[in-house]
Structure formats: C-alpha cells, structure tokens
Structure 1
Amino acid sequence: MKMHQIRNTENLQKFTNILNSKINNGFVIIEKNEKLPFAVLSKKGVKVNHNINFLISCFTLGLWSIPWMYTSFVSSKEKKILVGIDEDGNTFEDKCYN
C-alpha cells in the first residue's frame, strides 16, 4: 500500500511540475480536474503586425514573405493542450484540436 501511495505522490509531483512549467511559458489553466488529474491549458496567439512585415518583405524582395506567412497562419492561433496522468500513472501532454 505504501508503494502505491509513493507512486501517486511522485506522479502528482510530476503533474504539478509540468503544469508549473507550462504556466511559466505563458499558458493559462482553463479547466482542471483533481479527481482524475488532468488540466486543459490555453495560450493566446502572437499578434502579427502586417504593416512592418510588408515593409520587410519589400526590402528583402519577397524573401520575408515565408516567415510572415508562418507567423500569420501558425503562430497567431490560440494553442490548447491537455496535461494529465493516465491509468498507468504516466504523465502525458496532448494537443487539443478545435
């Protein structure tokens, strides 16, 4: 019984460490469940200044348009992830698709 409690406390410690690192990286907890330890985290997308990117793209003869498109389509979207502990006691992290 003690080994089971030790594993539970170690798994919960890993879970809280992952949550703390994600919160330090700018994520915000949307939903958290203590009974089945999981949490849904969200991070706002990067706001893109299209005027500056257009000027840089003109100065670089269009080469800057590739990173500009990447930041416009990928980085500007909101990111949601699910962090939890599975049945075996392993911590996991998954993307939430909209």
Structure 2
Amino acid sequence: MIKNQFITQEKLNDFTNTIANKIKNGFVIVEKNDKMPFAVLVKEGKKINHSFNFFVCCVTFGVWTLPWLYLSQVSCKTKKILVALDEDGNVFEEDCYMG
C-alpha cells in the first residue's frame, strides 16, 4: 500500500482550511483521522415552528405553503459530510447518508 506520497503541506493546509470553513458554517467534527486525512462533520437541522408557519400560511391565503414545505423537508434535516484527501492529495467533500 502506498502511504500518502502525494500529500504536501500545501494540500494539508487546504484540507484544514476546508474543515475550518465548515465549522464556521455550523458543522461539528464527529470523527477525525490524521493518518489518512479525513473528517466527518455533522450539522444539526433547524427547528421548525409549525404553529407560526400555519399562521403565516393562513394570513397569506396558502401562498406560504411551498416555503413551509421546503423548510419542513430540507432545512430541518441533519446534514452529515465527509471531508478528505484523495490518493492524489486533492480535497473532496461527500455527503454521508444517515441510516
């Protein structure tokens, strides 16, 4: 097995900067490995106030239904991503599916 021969300090800095940017956006590190550089990050979903959204939906005669559905289905889900360096030393991100 080839051991990280393409990983330079510059690419490690890019990896670290990518993780730092994700942390600024609300992600939290769940798992990290420095031997084979990767990190798993999680961002908790937002809480939806359904009572308020129902009120807004009634006031706007149902126009608020689509944004409310979007908030309920997309924004409230927990996001889990993998940030790692590939064989060539390039940083990549991938969605992790939660089961």
Q: TM-score, normalised by structure 2?
A: 0.91
Q: Which residue of 2 aligns with 1:96?
A: 96
Matches within 5 A, 1:29-68: 29-68=29-68
Kindly, what percent of the aligned residue pairs are identical? 57
Distance apart, 1:7 and its partner CA: 5.4
SS in 1 for 2:36: coil
Name the residue aligned to 1:25.
Answer: 25
2:86 and 2:6 map into 1 onto residues whose CA distance is: 16
CA distance in 2, matches of 1:23, 1:47: 19
Kindly tell me the number of residue pairs found equivalent between the two proteins: 95
Alpha-carbon distance in 2 for matches of 1:59, 1:13: 51
Q: What is the distance in 1 between the residues matched to 2:90 and 2:47?
A: 35
Q: Distance in 2 between matches of 1:34 and 1:7?
A: 12
RMSD: 1.7
Verify: 1:76 aligned to 2:82, yes or no. no
Q: Give structure 1 stretches of 5+ with no counterpart.
A: none
Structure 1 residues 45-96: Cα deviation after superposition (integer angstroms, max 9, x where no partner): 0100001100000011111010101111111010000000000110000100
Query: C-alpha distance in 2, partners of 1:16/1:67?
Result: 35
- Which 5+ residue runs of structure 2 have no aligned equivalent? none
